[in-house]
Every structure is written in structure tokens, then in C-alpha cells.
């Protein structure tokens, strides 16, 4: 692994290595001194073309807990509006000695273009590109799911995958990089992936994906998922061209109090453990998820946040600890 660009191309062994390493990293985060010396002297740049305080501070915390130096570069807006091209920005960061570039960009493919270019030798980590992928989010979701699934089965999460687990992803799939990354990663890990959304929020061409599609959330819930992942509905989608109103969306596609009662009866597999509720945040309480559902004991939303730091530590560790300072890479 030289870069982490997407989960579609992430091999099973690499995915498990990240999850297992992340499990070790969670122990660091609960220690009194939350720091490892692994990346001392390495420089991690957070190159953020979109506002995302949550993701940026998660990466920043991860890099700092590994003792790396962190530089934050916020480049709001497009390269056209700010007057410097991605190429020039990246070459500038490279000249400053970046070992890893964590890039968040509104353009799908920006991370892949950076990795394919000769602009920098740094390891590239995709922190979300347009509506393409957000691989570390999917990895932290998988870490959360794996912990829940193995706890339900009273087994150790280490080395295990998600075989047999049914995960339902609900909402705005078409605009969601989180959904795309989850579909590929969860399938790689052996999960059975279901999607539930109005047809307007599913990409044309989804029929070729290895998933089961529902147009009714109630039908999807009656298929007995072991985990339900609610996606955020962006305010700008509520204008009436994708669905009529936020109220109709909540009635038909939201995890309402009535549907929470259904989810409360769901069990993981044949165990007695309750099904899991996930949300990548930030939540629109009352739209895609009711307050009761968000605050339910089944909701793992804050675990997801904690796991985000651990997963990003694992990714930085695995990408950088095998690299020579000149950018070459040990296999």
C-alpha cells in the first residue's frame, strides 16, 4: 500500500491489517499519555479544499498521537477562484517536505490525480473526494461494525471480518462518498449490503453494484439488518427536485421513533445482541434520524468518532512507517 485512495481497490488483507492496527491504536487513545513515537520527524499535511472540521481534527489528532509534525493547509474554493492550481499547491507542499498529504477536495478524483502525478512523492490519503469515496470513514464504520458483531458473538475482533453481517445503508446514496466507500469495503469484508433510498437518490447504474436495493425503508427493515447506517441529507438537496419536502423524507426515509421501535426488536444474527445504529455525522435530528434514535443505546455514533482517530492512526502508521525518507517504499 503506497496510498489510500479508495476502498474499491483496497485488498482484503490490507483492510484487515488497517482494522487490526486500529484496534491496537484504540488502546493508545485510552492511555494517560496518548502518544506513540512512531512518526517522529515525519510531516503530515492536511490539505483541505472543503470545510470539514470533524475530519481535519480527527486526522490531526491521529498524526499528533503518532508524534508526527502536522501542517494544516486550508484552500477554500476551487483552484480557479483562489488562483493557484492543485499542481502548484502540491508542489509547494512537497518542497516543504511533506511525507503524507491528507487531501479533502470537492472534486471527485482529486486524490487519485494527485497520486498519479509526479507533483509529489508523498503518500496520499483521500479524506473525501467529491461524491467519489471517503475510505477512512468506511474503515472506521467497519471497525465499529466489527466490534459490535464480534462482541455479539463473544469472539475476538482481531483478524475477523464481517462475514454473515447484513448492513443496511439508508438515504442519499447518489451524493454520498461515505456510501460508496462503505459498499466496496463492506463487500470486501464479507458483509451483505442493502441500500434503501428513493430512486432519485440512487445513482443511475447502481444495478451493477453488489448490493440489494430497497425503495421502501420499511421493507428494508423487515429484511432484518444487523446494522442500520443512516446517511446525512444535505440541506441543498431539500429544495424539492430530489424529493418533495424534508417532512416527506422524514416520514418515508427517516429513522423515526416508530421505526426505532422496529430496530429495537432487531438482533444481530442469531444472537441476543441488539442491532447497531450508525451515522457518519453531522446529524439532522428530526430529518433522517429522530432524537430518540440518535440517543438510543443501540447508536454507536460516538464510538464511530473515537474509532475515526484510531483508524487514521493506523493508516498513517502503515503508510509511513514502511516508507523511506526519500519516498521510496519497502514491500
Partner 1 sequence: MKDYLILGASILGDAPTDVVVRDGNIASIGSGNAEPRANVPMETIDGTGLIALPGMVDLHVHLREPGREDAETVETGSRAAAKGGFTAVHAMANSSPVADTAGVVEQVHRLGQDAGWTEVYPVGAITKGLGGKVLAELGAMAESSAKVRMFSDDGHCVNNAQLMRRAMEYVKTIDGFVAQHAQDADLTGWETESPAQMNEGRVSATLGLPGWPAVAEEAIIARDVLLADYVGSRIHICHVSTKGSVEIIRWAKERGIQVTAEVTPHHLMLTDELVKSYDPVYKVNPPLRTEADTQALREALAEGVIDVIGTDHAPHPEQAKECEWDQAAMGMTGLETALPAVQHAMVETGLIGWRRFAEITSIRPAEIYGHTHQGRPIAAGEPANMILIDPSAATTVHPGTHASKGRNSPFRGIELPGEVRHTFLGGLPVMLDGELATPRSTGSAA
| Choice from 146, 147, 177, 237 touching partner 1 (CB under 8 A) | 177
Per rule CB under 8 A, count of chain residues that contact partner 1: 29
Shorter beta-carbon distance to partner 1: residue 222 or 234: 234
- Residue identified by cell 502518544 is 35
Reduced to 3 states (helix: H, G, I; strand: E, B; else coil), residue 70 is: strand
Site string for partner 1, 179-208 (x = CB under 8 A): -x----------------------xxxx-x
Residue 97: left if φ>0, alpha if ψ -120 to 50, beta else—which one? left
Cβ–Cβ under 8 Å, residues 303 and 157: no
Please name the residues in contact with 10: beta carbons below 8 A apart, sequence gap of 6 or more: 4, 135, 184, 185, 188
Shorter beta-carbon distance to partner 1: residue 81 or 270: 81
Minimum separation from the CB atom of position 89 to partner 1 (A): 11
209 binds partner 1 (CB under 8 A): yes
Minimum separation from the CB atom of position 226 to partner 1 (A): 25
Q: Is 237 annotated as a binding residue?
A: no
d(CA 216, CA 146): 27
Q: Is 105 annotated as a binding residue?
A: no
Site string for partner 1, 100-119 (x = CB under 8 A): -----xxxxxx-xx--x---
Q: Is 282 annotated as a binding residue?
A: yes
Contact region with partner 1 (CB under 8 A), list: 23-31, 124-132, 157-165, 289-297: 124-132
| Choice from 50, 60, 99, 133 touching partner 1 (CB under 8 A) | 133
Q: For the chain, what's the residue count?
A: 331
Q: Which three cell numbers stand for residue 179?
A: 456510501
Nearest to 181 by CA among 4, 2, 49: 4
Minimum separation from the CB atom of position 116 to partner 1 (A): 7
Cβ–Cβ under 8 Å, residues 14 and 302: no
| Choice from 130, 164, 269, 286 touching partner 1 (CB under 8 A) | 130
Q: Which three cell numbers stand for residue 191?
A: 458483509
What torsion do the CA atoms of 94, 96, 98, 102 make, to the nearest 10 degrees? -80
- Residue identified by cell 463487500 is 187
Residue 150 CA: distances (Å) to CA of 40, 154, 173, 270: 34, 6, 27, 13
| Choice from 2, 8, 75, 286 touching partner 1 (CB under 8 A) | 8
Minimum separation from the CB atom of position 129 to partner 1 (A): 8
Please name the residues in contact with 100: beta carbons below 8 A apart, sequence gap of 6 or more: 42, 43, 44, 45, 68, 122, 123, 124, 125, 316, 319, 320
Residue numbers 62-91 binding partner 1 by CB under 8 A = 78-80, 85-87
Shorter beta-carbon distance to partner 1: residue 46 or 126: 126
What torsion do the CA atoms of 306, 68, 73, 129 make, to the nearest 10 degrees? -50
d(CA 261, CA 251): 15
Shorter beta-carbon distance to partner 1: residue 59 or 119: 119
Q: Is 137 annotated as a binding residue?
A: yes
Minimum separation from the CB atom of position 274 to partner 1 (A): 33
Q: Residues annotated in the binding site for carbamoyl phosphate, as ranges?
A: 54-55, 104, 134, 137, 281-282
Q: Residues annotated in the binding site, as ranges?
A: 54-55, 82, 104, 134, 137, 177, 232, 281-282
Write out the residues near partner 1 by the rule CB under 8 A. 8, 78-80, 85-87, 105-110, 112-113, 116, 129-133, 177, 180, 203-206, 208-209
Amino acid at each position: 500500500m503506497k496510498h489510500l485512495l479508495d476502498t474499491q481497490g483496497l485488498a482484503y488483507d490490507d483492510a484487515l491489517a488497517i482494522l487490526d492496527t486500529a484496534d491496537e491504536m484504540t488502546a493508545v487513545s485510552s492511555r494517560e499519555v496518548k502518544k506513540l513515537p512512531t512518526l517522529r520527524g515525519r510531516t503530515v499535511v492536511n490539505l483541505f479544499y472543503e470545510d470539514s472540521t470533524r475530519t481535519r481534527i480527527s486526522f490531526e489528532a491521529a498524526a499528533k498521537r503518532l508524534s508526527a509534525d502536522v501542517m494544516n493547509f486550508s484552500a477554500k474554493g476551487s483552484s480557479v477562484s483562489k488562483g493557484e492550481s492543485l499542481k502548484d499547491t502540491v508542489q509547494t507542499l512537497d518542497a516543504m517536505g511533506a511525507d503524507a498529504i491528507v487531501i479533502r477536495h470537492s472534486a471527485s478524483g482529486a486524490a487519485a490525480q494527485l497520486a498519479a502525478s509526479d507533483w509529489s512523492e508523498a503518500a496520499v490519503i483521500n479524506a473525501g473526494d467529491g461524491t467519489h469515496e471517503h475510505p477512512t470513514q468506511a474503515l472506521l464504520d467497519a471497525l465499529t461494525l466489527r466490534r459490535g458483531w464480534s462482541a455479539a458473538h463473544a469472539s475476538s475482533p482481531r483478524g475477523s471480518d464481517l462475514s454473515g453481517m447484513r448492513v443496511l445503508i439508508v438515504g442519499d446514496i447518489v451524493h454520498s462518498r461515505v456510501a460508496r466507500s462503505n459498499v466496496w469495503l463492506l463487500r470486501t469484508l464479507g458483509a451483505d449490503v442493502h441500500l434503501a433510498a428513493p430512486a432519485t437518490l440512487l445513482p443511475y447504474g447502481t444495478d451493477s453494484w453488489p448490493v440489494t436495493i430497497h425503495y421502501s425503508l420499511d421493507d428494508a427493515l423487515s429484511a432484518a439488518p444487523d446494522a442500520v447506517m443512516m446517511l446525512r441529507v444535505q440541506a441543498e438537496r431539500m429544495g424539492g427536485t430530489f424529493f418533495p419536502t424534508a417532512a416527506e423524507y422524514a416520514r418515508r426515509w427517516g429513522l423515526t421513533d416508530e421505526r426505532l421501535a422496529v430496530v429495537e426488536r432487531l438482533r444481530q444474527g442469531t444472537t441476543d445482541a441488539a442491532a447497531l445504529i450508525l451515522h457518519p455525522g453531522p446529524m439532522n435530528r428530526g430529518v433522517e434520524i429522530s432524537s430518540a434514535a440518535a440517543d438510543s443505546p443501540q447508536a454507536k455514533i460516538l464510538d464511530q468518532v473515537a474509532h475515526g482517530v484510531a483508524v487514521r492512526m493506523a493508516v498513517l502508521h502503515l503508510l509511513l512507517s514502511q516508507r523511506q525518507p526519500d519516498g521510496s517504499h519497502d514491500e
